[in-house]
Structure 1
Amino acid sequence: MPHDTALPGAQVRPPREGRSNGQWLVDGPAPLNPNEEFKAADNPLNVRARIESTYAREGFASIPNEDLHGRFRWWGLYTQRKQGIDGGRTGTLGPDELSDEFFMLRVRLDGGQLNLEQLRTIAGISTEFGRNTADISDRQNIQLHWIAIEDVPEIWRRLEAVGLQTTEACGDTPRVILGSPVAGVAADEIIDPTPVIREIVDTYIGDPELSNLPRKFKTAVTGHPSLDVVHEINDISLVGVVHPELGPGYDLWVGGGLSTAPRLAERLGVFVTAEQAPEVWHGVVRIFRDYGYRRLRNKARLKFLLAEWGPVKFRQVLQDEYLGYVLPEGPAAVATGGAADHVGVHTQKDGNHYVGFAPTVGRMSGTALTELADAVAAAGSDRVRLTPHQKVLVLDVPPDRVRALCDRVETIGLTATPGAFRRNTMACTGIEFCKLAFVDAKDTATAAIETLDRNLGELDLAVPITLNVNGCPNSCARIQTADIGLKGQIAKSADGGDEFAFQVHLGGGLASVDRDDAGLGRTLRGLKVTAEEMPTYVERVVRRFASESDDGESFAHWVHRADEEALR
């Protein structure tokens, strides 16, 4: 019988027995839906040659649908939302009707690592080709908008000349690898994950053998005790631990993911050495390729396979069929290392400092990135990191240059001392550019941050409250794992018209030094909060928490014991 090992609150269920799920090593490789058909017909990586030789020369109208809405994703390209289409039409129009003749381009930044030459290159592409757009995503990428197909080959040339790429930034592929943004510099680091990330990227990204997965495959690797890569919601995570006999290495987690069927990852209970880590990663991604469900797109993530197999069987298959050796039992990763967003000034192991800055919900611009590069250079550094929390870190800052750096970047919208809501609010792209969105996310969140930091600044909360705002149900901004998660919907106003609204999720959270109650949020059924009402609603709930919670109690713990009326 399938064994559903989902954590409490998860909504994942294994498939029904007795029917084909499109598992290659069980059912054979015959395609079972249009997505599988276009991948089988031509490896999506091959589309790059057509972009360079044909589409960039002949223009947008020359692109066939299977490339435009399918294979382009393998090179980081999505058509962006046509301007002026309101959220009420998101669910009724097809991709051709929703799509503009411009693209979002995702620049892949494994581990969030950038040097100044790379930062300046992205900034220049933004200002020259992307109408000065540049958003930091919660996957440590930078996303540009308004990209024309005619400019893509030149953009690739510039990126690749400085060691950057868009290869498999999207699509049914191994996506960008989240890495600790303080890798190699943090004084309390357990193990530096940089060599593991580099070997995986250099060996496997762009490998045609791994370019047709059932769905996207997300990876996270950290050696920092703050557990700073949201490891519970990735398909595979390697989390730094110290084995009592074998020394520093990694705790292996698999099967996490959010979207409309959220599930937290589970430990396999094994210890992985740094030398084994790339091979173990390769084994897990091949399990997904060979045994992952391909019949239905909404059941195709690795979390569904884990829900059926359970961690014991998954570990056995990994060892027996893909590694050929037994992994030793290992200790569990435990958060002990401060805030995972790394905002503020921190001392490195070499005596210099790394400084974490908060933009507003990840929104930047090419101009701001250029000015950031100038400020970093003036501070004597050549290294910038992006975080899974939409933050920016500058490494290697001498102690006597920290204050000047902080003062200078304040002028471009970055601060090392943000208010609680500016620091702890994330937002997805939203209706401004995303074809899936129903509501505005970035601007709504930005306006709410200003109001909430002003009105709630006097509260002395022992544990910060996270606010995540998403424009649709797909949870790009991780709404189920926030203290307050808002999912964009269309609601009916009093006069019967459409209006922006959010469904409310409360009490989610991932592991950190301040909490041991990581889990998925509580959905308040039937509660819809309009965009205009949102700041007032958040303020009301936070004040209720502040007045009713016990000393040291987390928001999540309070939410899960509170009467529902107190949460409305």
Structure 2
Amino acid sequence: MSHAPASTVPIKTEPISPDILEEIETFEAEARRMVSGDVSGDLFRPFRLQYGIYGQRQAGVQMVRIKIPFGGLTANQLRRVAELTEQFATGVGHVTTRQDIQLHFVELKDVPAIMRGLAEVGLTTREACANTVRNVTACHLAGICQGEVFDVTTYAKTVALHLLRNPLNQSLPRKFKIAFSGCKQDCALTPIHDIGLLAAKRTDGAIGFRMVAGGGLGSAPRIAQVLREFTPMDELIPSIEAVIRVFDTLGNRKNRTKARMKFVIEKLGFAEFKRRWEEAYVSMGHARPTHEPIKLLPYPDEPVPLIMPTSNGSKKTVAQTNGSVNGAPTETPFEMWRRTNVVRQKQEGYVAAVTKLFMGDLTTEQMLHIADLADRYSNGNIRTTINQNMIIRWIPESRIADLYDDLASQGLADPGAELVEDIIACPGTDTCGLGITSSKGLARALAEVFPAGRVPEDLKDVTVKISGCHNSCAQHHIATIGLHGVGKRIGEHVAPFYELHLGG
């Protein structure tokens, strides 16, 4: 463990609701039965996965996946995650490409304590794994993006919590992924999801979503197809439920490798799939159009912070630079970081700063530091990104230099966030039982090739993603340079190799 100092900020907790407490106690009882031999490991495995707990390639320890809808965390929640990471894991957390946070090397006996600790601050591991609707992701710039049609945050949150513990979502043929994007840049990558929702606006001013279905990566990558060009808000949840019902009914439950929804569409043809979806929609009691408004769950992430921007703050602002915009040697470390990691918000006077986490890893001390900075410089909220980073939003531009200094003090001010030098890698053989290669090891080697913050301008949009196997947890298929681990027979032995993908 890293033995991080205890945070001086107390963690605010709420009583755990009786139903969630019963759920945790059920897991605890089943875990004891498995340890005592009353339940076999094979029977316990699907139950464990339903609760967001994975086995590792190392015997006797688990990976705990914390589900974070749309990547939204409060500083208070991040402090609790840090506390649990320090107490029960290795002192290092891992941000995933689905905006979750994973804890590794956790003993099974400690999992219920982690679940209780998370529940006290409104977090859960439930359905972060298994044949369920996984974490609902969204663009980390939602609400502040200059080009967005509207803020998709509340819709992502509403859908995520509507499906959590929903009977419809407990035993699907295979995992199911949903993503929300607010503009045409599509930072949430909707085409590679089972359901992708892109913000749209009709000529009459009505807002809704362009809905695509059937995307996915893995061993048989597919791009989602348009199911509805415009989905009105009052039809959003029933439209999603109808897709899940068709998948639940027609998905392949015998062959796991052919079980994703993309194979249902491949077998039926998209026109027939759409017809089945329409039938499911009507059978649920909905006949378009329905006039029942969507009941949105508020997410108070974006009130104007108590710290207001001022005109006489630091002389260092986002607009200023002392060197070449291409990273000339005259550029100071602060200027380089500001150029690559700071984003102007659509709200005048505010910026957002991306904290680059190498391969998504951060220590408990760094978690506590980011939580403190979110309180000090913003409104106490953080978001994880699908590129394994964290972002603090709503920072008064006049305070950006001070934030940089505070980040740098904990090794959190590396430039090049979300750019070519920000390599994406899954855990690979470090912990994953399915991994064939050490994706993190390769990422470390490649990181030495790219000078942080000084990559030429014409390469800034190049992406490098490394998966330890064909499952594409690092999304290697959609990278400019993608690699995934494979086994290749050499004589009597099988050796690890990488398969190279270009132009994704």
Q: Which residue of 1 aligns with 2:45?
A: 69
Amino acid at match of 2:497: A
Cα RMSD (Å): 2.7
Amino acid at match of 2:175: K
Classify 1:56/1:343 alpha carbon distance in 2 versus 1 (closer, same or farther; 3 Å). Answer: farther
Q: Which residue of 2 aligns with 1:170?
A: 129
Counterparts in 2 of 1:279-358, with a 5 A limit? 279-323=238-282, 324-326=286-288, 343-349=341-347, 351-358=349-356
Question: Deviations 1:274-296 (Å, cap 9, x if unpaired)?
Answer: 22212211111111111222221
Counterpart secondary structure, 2:151: coil
Q: Which runs of 5+ in 2 are unaligned?
A: 1-20, 291-339
Q: Which residue of 2 aligns with 1:507?
A: 503
Counterparts in 2 of 1:257-276, with a 5 A limit? 257-276=216-235
Classify 1:449/1:420 alpha carbon distance in 2 versus 1 (closer, same or farther; 3 Å). Answer: farther
Counterparts in 2 of 1:160-559, with a 5 A limit? 160-323=119-282, 324-326=286-288, 343-349=341-347, 351-415=349-413, 417-418=415-416, 423-453=421-451, 457=454, 459-461=456-458, 464-491=461-488, 499-508=495-504
Question: Deviations 1:449-490 (Å, cap 9, x if unpaired)?
Answer: 122337x95644255211111111111111111111111124
Counterpart secondary structure, 1:322: helix
- C-alpha separation in 2, matches of 1:460 and 1:179: 27
Classify 1:52/1:419 alpha carbon distance in 2 versus 1 (closer, same or farther; 3 Å). Answer: closer
Question: Deviations 1:311-357 (Å, cap 9, x if unpaired)?
Answer: 333332222332443579xxxxxxxxxxxxx9423224263222122
- C-alpha separation in 1, matches of 2:499 and 2:355: 30
- C-alpha separation in 2, matches of 1:388 and 1:310: 31
- C-alpha separation in 2, matches of 1:57 and 1:149: 12
Q: CA deviation at 1:496?
A: 7.8
- C-alpha separation in 1, matches of 2:82 and 2:379: 18
Amino acid at match of 1:398: P
| 1:127–1:133 CA contact under 8 A, matched in 2 | yes
Counterpart secondary structure, 1:272: strand
Classify 1:451/1:60 alpha carbon distance in 2 versus 1 (closer, same or farther; 3 Å). Answer: farther
Q: CA deviation at 1:62?
A: 6.0
- C-alpha separation in 2, matches of 1:343 and 1:284: 38
Identity across matched positions, percent = 28
Q: Which residue of 1 aligns with 2:62?
A: 103
Amino acid at match of 1:244: T
Amino acid at match of 1:401: R
| 2:419–2:460 CA contact under 8 A, matched in 1 | no
Counterparts in 2 of 1:25-104, with a 5 A limit? 49-56=25-32, 59=35, 64-82=40-58, 100-104=59-63
Q: CA deviation at 1:119?
A: 0.6
Classify 1:474/1:380 alpha carbon distance in 2 versus 1 (closer, same or farther; 3 Å). Answer: closer
Amino acid at match of 1:486: L
Amino acid at match of 1:464: D
Q: CA deviation at 1:431?
A: 0.3
- C-alpha separation in 1, matches of 2:149 and 2:406: 33
Classify 1:57/1:269 alpha carbon distance in 2 versus 1 (closer, same or farther; 3 Å). Answer: closer
Classify 1:140/1:113 alpha carbon distance in 2 versus 1 (closer, same or farther; 3 Å). Answer: same
Q: CA deviation at 1:57?
A: 8.6
- C-alpha separation in 2, matches of 1:54 and 1:69: 11
- C-alpha separation in 1, matches of 2:140 and 2:355: 12
Q: Which residue of 1 aligns with 2:328?
A: none
| 1:190–1:241 CA contact under 8 A, matched in 2 | yes
Classify 1:497/1:202 alpha carbon distance in 2 versus 1 (closer, same or farther; 3 Å). Answer: closer
Counterpart secondary structure, 1:396: strand
Q: Which moved more, 1:344-353 or 1:238-247?
A: 344-353
Counterpart secondary structure, 1:294: coil
Amino acid at match of 2:258: K
Classify 1:104/1:140 alpha carbon distance in 2 versus 1 (closer, same or farther; 3 Å). Answer: same
Q: Which residue of 1 aligns with 2:18?
A: none
| 1:255–1:265 CA contact under 8 A, matched in 2 | yes
Normalised TM-score (structure 2): 0.79
- C-alpha separation in 1, matches of 2:178 and 2:106: 27
Q: CA deviation at 1:498?
A: 5.8
Amino acid at match of 1:286: R
Counterpart secondary structure, 1:389: coil
Amino acid at match of 1:152: V
Counterpart secondary structure, 1:442: helix
| 2:420–2:459 CA contact under 8 A, matched in 1 | no
Amino acid at match of 2:244: V
Q: CA deviation at 1:505?
A: 1.0
| 1:74–1:172 CA contact under 8 A, matched in 2 | yes
Counterpart secondary structure, 1:174: coil
| 2:79–2:371 CA contact under 8 A, matched in 1 | yes
Q: Which runs of 5+ in 1 are unaligned?
A: 1-44, 83-99, 329-341, 509-568
- C-alpha separation in 1, matches of 2:110 and 2:288: 49
Q: Which moved more, 1:301-310 or 1:168-177?
A: 301-310
